[in-house]
Chain A
Amino acid sequence: MLATETSPPAAAGRLALAQAPARNLALFAASVLALYALQPAMPIRQMDFWLPTASLALTVIVWAATSSAFATRRQPDRATLTDAAFIGGIVLGIAALRFVEPLSALITRTSPPAVLSVLAALAITALLAVAAGRIIGPRSAWTTALVIALVALLFALKYEPLTQAFAALLRVTQGQSAAQASSLDVRWLGFSYICFRLIAALRERASSRLPTVSLREFVTYAVFAPALIAGPIDRPDRFLKDLRAPFAFNWPDATEGARRIAIGAFKKFVLADWLALLALNEVNATQAQGAGWMWLLVYAYAWRIYFDFGGYTDIAIGVARIFGVRLPENFNRPYLKPNLTQFWNSWHMSLAQWFRAYYFNPLARALRTRAWATPAIIFVGQVTTMLLIGVWHGVTLNFALWGLWHGAGLFLHNRWADFAKARLTSSQERPHLQRATNAAGALLTFHFVALGWVWFALPDVALSLDVFRKLFGL
């Protein structure tokens, strides 16, 4: 059941002249296609098809759970059916490429699976979506169950023993040897970001703040092509505002977008890739002798990770800007900030904001109303938030220690600021003193963050401790 009859004539060809509806259709289709096109191949057969399909299926199910489309009517409306048919049409179209031998790996890395199994997967997704819509839709409090399921899935993908078990299970379904399973078998492109967008939508729904959103808009939000690989994690209401605003291709936005893409590409492919030759890693951490060399490796890592991630973000923001979507900024000169609190207001901002909105604020509110002492709330709130941000990168001891390093740093800075603001007179009237304090603070903050990367960059604690010993000549 292909949905070609609903496509505006030659939408892609007239993109340059497109207004919002055609632009939105193009972004939707491009985002679904990009989900498959950007997914790398894996040692497990056909996972480069099934994992993007699973991302789509989860997105559709979460949309149904947050929508009232199934709850208020017996039949979903025409727009929903059209959008669902469009998604199914694209997925089947990609699968059907297996019959066109020279094009079988045009979108996916390897030849797609049998069309019959794809049809079965689409049917199961549709059934689960209707069930989620009927059961969870009218009871927004039940969205918590879906949030827990998503967090559990993310945890399984980030925790090596579970990922390996998951890989073994997938291998069995594909008739491959489970004994060969490795955690590296499952590289689910963009899932950390997709999952957090889905949770954001579920939480907004639970607090009745999610606007009514069509299936097409929701899929575009969750798997938005420019932000697929490395974020940023937008909020649903903000993203929808851009998608629904009038749009006409215009040169100022296109030029600004192109400028951001060029800056991003320079940061990523010139600066970051060059610094990567020098940046701290498992091999050079063992080889390097002497504190001077070690500091050089740590500094190079600090700048490499910033230019790499910041460069990706610039490219994502630039591409989206050309199409009239203003993704949130993710970095705001983080290494120039005078303290760690401001560093975390300007480093991976969309992730930090996500954790504030859906973890830290509810926790602080709950502890506040239970009359906990202020320092205790701040300690528990900041340390656990940073621990979670750490293990979001991977459930390993080193990522956890990186999180705790920053959690402890934020707590100490908070206590210092609290102590200082009650006792020290404001340096605002003395600009020279203010500038000197800020410069010293920025230098100290940068070094605290750079030393934190020693946990983040290396795979085990013993090696990190060895690097610390060399850095300080111990």
Chain B
Amino acid sequence: MMDDSIAAPIAEYIAGAILKNPKRAIKPDEPLISSGLIDSFHLVDLGLFVEDKFGVRIDDSELNADTFDTLDQLVALIRSRR
């Protein structure tokens, strides 16, 4: 189940700030990390964004495709920690 109050701002951030293409739609099950869409530097940025926006800590060793690779998985991770 997608939670739009979490998913929408993240999708917007990925498309706008990371991919520099605000019109780009981020599919909920689209691989973001393993596909190379988000590189290692922007992954740290995404982690910082999630921490600021949702108050959820994602540890440095969790920033990898095993912990979350898709928007769906990231939303689930955030929900599980709130």
A residues neighboring B (CB under 8 Å): 200, 203-204, 207, 209, 235, 238, 339, 341-342, 345, 353, 356-358, 360-362, 364-365, 368-369, 374, 377-378, 381-382, 414, 417-418, 421-422, 426
In the bound complex, CA of A56 to CA of B36 (Å): 38
Q: Establish whether residues A362 and B60, one from each chain, have CB atoms under 8 Å apart when the complex forms.
A: yes
Complex interface: chain B residues within 8 A of A356 (CB): 40, 63-64
Q: Mark B54-71, 1 if CB is under 8 A from A, else 0.
A: 000001110110100000
Q: Establish whether residues B34 and A357, one from each chain, have CB atoms under 8 Å apart when the complex forms.
A: no
Q: Which residue from chain B places its CB closest to the CB of A375 in the assembled complex? A: B41
Q: Establish whether residues B47 and A365, one from each chain, have CB atoms under 8 Å apart when the complex forms.
A: yes
| Contact pick for B19, options A357, A414, A421, CB 8 Å | A421
> When A and B form their complex, which 8 residue pairs have the shortest distance between CB atoms, in order from nearest?
A361-B60, A357-B61, A364-B44, A422-B20, A342-B36, A378-B41, A362-B60, A207-B59
- Given known A378-B41, A414-B41, A417-B39, contact A361–B21 (CB-CB < 8 A): no
| Contact pick for A365, options B34, B60, B66, CB 8 Å | B60
Is B45 positioned at the interface, with any CB of A under 8 Å from its CB?
A: yes
Q: Establish whether residues A353 and B64, one from each chain, have CB atoms under 8 Å apart when the complex forms.
A: yes
In the bound complex, CA of A387 to CA of B74 (Å): 31
Q: Establish whether residues A360 and B61, one from each chain, have CB atoms under 8 Å apart when the complex forms.
A: no
Complex interface: chain B residues within 8 A of A353 (CB): 64
Complex interface: chain B residues within 8 A of A358 (CB): 60-61
Complex interface: chain B residues within 8 A of A209 (CB): 59, 61
Q: Establish whether residues B48 and A365, one from each chain, have CB atoms under 8 Å apart when the complex forms.
A: yes
Q: Establish whether residues B45 and A368, one from each chain, have CB atoms under 8 Å apart when the complex forms.
A: yes
In the bound complex, CA of A235 to CA of B44 (Å): 19
Interface residues of B in 20-60 (CB under 8 A from A): 20-21, 24, 34, 36, 39-41, 43-45, 47-48, 59-60
In the bound complex, CA of A426 to CA of B21 (Å): 10
| Given A358-B60, A377-B41, 20 new contacts (CB under 8 A) | A204-B61, A207-B61, A209-B59, A341-B39, A356-B63, A357-B63, A361-B60, A361-B61, A362-B60, A364-B40, A364-B41, A365-B47, A368-B44, A368-B45, A369-B48, A381-B40, A414-B39, A414-B41, A421-B19, A426-B21
Complex interface: chain B residues within 8 A of A203 (CB): 61
Complex interface: chain A residues within 8 A of B66 (CB): 238
Complex interface: chain A residues within 8 A of B63 (CB): 356-357, 361
**A96 CB to closest chain B CB, in angstroms?**
41
- Given known A203-B61, A209-B59, A378-B41, contact A421–B21 (CB-CB < 8 A): yes
Q: Establish whether residues B36 and A341, one from each chain, have CB atoms under 8 Å apart when the complex forms.
A: yes
Complex interface: chain A residues within 8 A of B41 (CB): 364, 374, 377-378, 381-382, 414
- Given known A209-B61, A356-B64, A358-B61, contact A365–B44 (CB-CB < 8 A): yes
25 A-B pairs with CB atoms under 8 Å apart are A207-B59, A235-B61, A238-B66, A341-B39, A342-B36, A345-B34, A345-B36, A353-B64, A356-B63, A357-B61, A357-B64, A358-B60, A360-B40, A360-B44, A361-B43, A361-B63, A364-B40, A365-B44, A365-B60, A368-B45, A368-B48, A374-B41, A414-B39, A414-B41, A417-B39
- Given known A365-B44, A421-B20, contact A357–B39 (CB-CB < 8 A): no
**A339 CB to closest chain B CB, in angstroms?**
7
Q: Which residue from chain B places its CB closest to the CB of A421 in the assembled complex? A: B20
Complex interface: chain A residues within 8 A of B24 (CB): 426
In the bound complex, CA of A5 to CA of B24 (Å): 65
**A437 CB to closest chain B CB, in angstroms?**
14
In the bound complex, CA of A342 to CA of B47 (Å): 20
**B40 CB to closest chain A CB, in angstroms?**
6
Complex interface: chain B residues within 8 A of A422 (CB): 20-21
In the bound complex, CA of A356 to CA of B59 (Å): 12
Complex interface: chain B residues within 8 A of A200 (CB): 61
Complex interface: chain B residues within 8 A of A417 (CB): 39
In the bound complex, CA of A407 to CA of B47 (Å): 23
**B7 CB to closest chain A CB, in angstroms?**
21
In the bound complex, CA of A460 to CA of B19 (Å): 41
Complex interface: chain A residues within 8 A of B36 (CB): 339, 341-342, 345
Complex interface: chain B residues within 8 A of A362 (CB): 60
Q: Which residue from chain B places its CB closest to the CB of A354 in the assembled complex? A: B61
Complex interface: chain A residues within 8 A of B64 (CB): 353, 356-357
In the bound complex, CA of A342 to CA of B45 (Å): 19
Complex interface: chain A residues within 8 A of B59 (CB): 207, 209
Complex interface: chain B residues within 8 A of A426 (CB): 21, 24
| Contact pick for B44, options A342, A361, A414, A418, CB 8 Å | A361
Complex interface: chain B residues within 8 A of A421 (CB): 19-21
Complex interface: chain A residues within 8 A of B40 (CB): 341, 356, 360-361, 364, 381
Complex interface: chain B residues within 8 A of A374 (CB): 41
Complex interface: chain A residues within 8 A of B19 (CB): 421
Q: Which residue from chain A places its CB closest to the CB of B34 in the assembled complex? A: A345
Q: Which residue from chain A places its CB closest to the CB of B64 in the assembled complex? A: A353
In the bound complex, CA of A273 to CA of B42 (Å): 40
